Structure 1
Amino acid sequence: MNNEDPSIKEDIKKIKEKDRRVLFWGFLVLLSYLIYWVNFKEEFLIEKKSPSRENEVIINEYGNGILMGSQTVKIYFKEDGETKKTKKIDIDNDMQSNHASRYNIAWKNDNTALLSMEFENSTRYLEYNFSNNTIEIDIVDESGY
């Protein structure tokens, strides 16, 4: 038995091919998770229920930036536990991190939620009416440009 034996060469070739497939699928799984983590993964930030506890607003961080953290939040408007509407808002931060203390949820009445979002360059005010599913957004630019 020597290294020139065709059966040994064939066995080595099969092992290398199997290793390549395992590495390819491992790389594909890691790449898929990275794409999910950067673009779609949600992390809870803050929630608040209406005075009657029927309506609820939940704000989640949406996606993760590789260098500066998430650049988007996703807001869920729920009535009796069922999502009535969602809204994605782009975060107006250059270098500061995003955290729950940047957000405030208050209730004008049982069917109207008032949200304030204080970012590095602007403050956004959002009013959502659960009765007719309308959203009003005001942006106050504080960047000085």
Structure 2
Amino acid sequence: MVKFMEGEKNYKNSKAKITLGIFSILLISIVYVIYWLFFDTTPFLENKSPDKIHKIEIVEKGHNLFTSTQIDIHFKIHDKTQYEREMDIANFLEDHTTSQYHITWLNDDEVQITMEYENQTKTLEYNFVTRRLSLSENV
């Protein structure tokens, strides 16, 4: 009788351990998917000024499956971020590619980024000296 009770106790303990293991794996998987969908960042495009002091870095943020993706644009001086701008991408059917971005350095301190999306064109101008940012959108 004592052996039977010990066997039943071991069975309950192993069943609880298996349930806890499955729950842990499921929880870790859900957390990873949420991180991958909304928080994972991927370097997308980089461009340096003619004097190589200033740099533009465009980073994709998340992997949204059904909505437009977001990007972060980092304006850097000597590889230190001076200003950061988060923007939504206006693509719903087309893929997001580097050919949609045209970066033009007006001089060593000013840059113009033209973003040609599916139904919209956005033009962003940034001055590294004055830290002034201007955005225009054409639908």
TM-score for both structures, normalised by structure 2: 0.93
Displacement, 1:67?
A: 4.0
Write the distance in 2 (CA, Å) between the matches of 1:138 and 1:66: 27
CA RMSD of aligned residues (A): 1.7
Residue 91 of structure 1 is aligned with which of 89, 92, 105? 89
Aligned to 2:75: 77
- Structure 2: 5+ residue runs without aligned partners? none
Residue 105 of structure 2 is aligned with which of 99, 107, 112? 107
Residue 116 of structure 1 is aligned with which of 114, 125, 133? 114
Letter of the 1:127 counterpart = E
Aligned to 2:36: 37
Aligned to 1:16: 15
Aligned to 1:138: 136
| Count of aligned residue pairs for this structure pair | 139
Displacement, 1:52?
A: 0.8
Displacement, 1:135?
A: 0.9
Any idea what SS the aligned residue of 2:57 has?
strand
Any idea what SS the aligned residue of 2:106 has?
strand
TM-score for both structures, normalised by structure 1: 0.89
Any idea what SS the aligned residue of 1:65 has?
coil
Write the distance in 1 (CA, Å) between the matches of 2:28 and 2:46: 33
Give every structure 1 segment of 4 or more consecutive aligned residues whose post-TM-superposition deviation is greater than 3 Å.
none
Write the distance in 1 (CA, Å) between the matches of 2:42 and 2:101: 14
Any idea what SS the aligned residue of 2:136 has?
strand
Q: What whole-Å deviation, never above 9, does each CA across 1:43-99 have from its counterpart, x for those lacking one?
A: 22211100110000011111101246x521110110011011111111111211111
- Structure 1: 5+ residue runs without aligned partners? none
Displacement, 1:35?
A: 0.8
Letter of the 1:61 counterpart = E
Write the distance in 1 (CA, Å) between the matches of 2:104 and 2:32: 36
